[in-house]
Amino acid sequence: MESNQWSSPTEFWDLPPFFTIQPTDATREKQLSLWLQVVCHYCRAQRQYFIDISERMADSAPFHNAKAKRKLTLDGLRKICSYMVQHGHGVWMDEGQNRMAVFWRKPQEWAAAIYRWASDSGHLNSVETLFSLREGDDTRDQDFHGLPHEILLIALQALEGQGKAQIFRGSSSDHDGVKFFSQAA
Partner 1 sequence: MGSWFSRCPPAKEKKPDRITDSDRAVLDLKAQRDQLQIHKRKLQSTISSDLSAAKRFIETKKKSLALLALKKKKHHETLIDQCDQHLLKIAELISNVEYAQVQETLVKALEVGNAAMKKMQQEISLDYVERLVEESEEARAYQQEVNAMLFKDGITDQDTDVLADLRRIEEEEAQAVIENVPSPPTAELPPAAQEAVAAGADDKAERARVEKERAREPQLVPA
Partner 2 sequence: MRRGVGAARFAREKERDTRFEAVASQLTATRVAQAREHFDSFRLKLQEFALKHRDRINKDPVFRQKFCEMCAAIGVDPLISSRGFWSRLLGVGNFYSELGVQVLTICMATRPQNGGILELSECCHRVRRLRGNLAPPIDEGDIERAIERVAVLGHGGITVMKRRGKTTILSLPDELNPDQTIVLDLAHEKGHVSCRQLNEAFAWTKERSMAVLMVFLREGLVWVDTQVTAEEGGEALYWFPSLALSRLEEDDE
- Which stretches of the chain bind partner 2, using CB under 8 A? 11-12, 14-20, 22-24, 26-27, 29-31, 34, 69-71
- In the three-class reduction of DSSP (H, G, I as helix; E, B as strand; rest coil), residue 174 is classed as coil
The least distance separating partner 1 from the CB of residue 114, rounded to whole angstroms, comes to 15
92 lines the binding site for partner 1 (CB under 8 A): yes
Short-list 12, 108, 88, 92, CA closest to 51: 92
Q: What does each C-alpha distance from 4 to 15, 28, 46, 65, 130 come to in angstroms?
A: 18, 28, 11, 12, 33
The least distance separating partner 2 from the CB of residue 42, rounded to whole angstroms, comes to 20
In angstroms, the CA 20 to CA 176 distance is: 43
Identity of the residue, 85 or 113, whose beta carbon is nearer to partner 1 in the bound complex: 85
Identity of the residue, 43 or 84, whose beta carbon is nearer to partner 1 in the bound complex: 84
171 lines the binding site for partner 1 (CB under 8 A): yes
* Residue 30, amino acid: K
* Residue 175, amino acid: H
Identity of the residue, 71 or 179, whose beta carbon is nearer to partner 1 in the bound complex: 179
**What does 167 interact with, of partner 1, partner 2, none (CB < 5 to 8 A by kind)?**
partner 1
Of 10-18, 28-36, 52-60, 175-183, the segment contacting partner 1 by CB under 8 A is: 175-183
182 lines the binding site for partner 1 (CB under 8 A): no
Task: Say if CB 30 and CB 49 are below 8 A apart.
Answer: no
* Residue 58, amino acid: A
124 lines the binding site for partner 1 (CB under 8 A): no
**What does 98 interact with, of partner 2, partner 1, none (CB < 5 to 8 A by kind)?**
none
Going by DSSP bridges, is the β-strand pair 127-129/176-180 parallel, antiparallel, or unpaired? antiparallel
The least distance separating partner 1 from the CB of residue 125, rounded to whole angstroms, comes to 8
72 lines the binding site for partner 1 (CB under 8 A): no
Length of the chain, in residues: 185
**Residue 33, phi then psi, degrees to nearest 5:** -70, -35
- In the three-class reduction of DSSP (H, G, I as helix; E, B as strand; rest coil), residue 86 is classed as helix
85 lines the binding site for partner 1 (CB under 8 A): yes
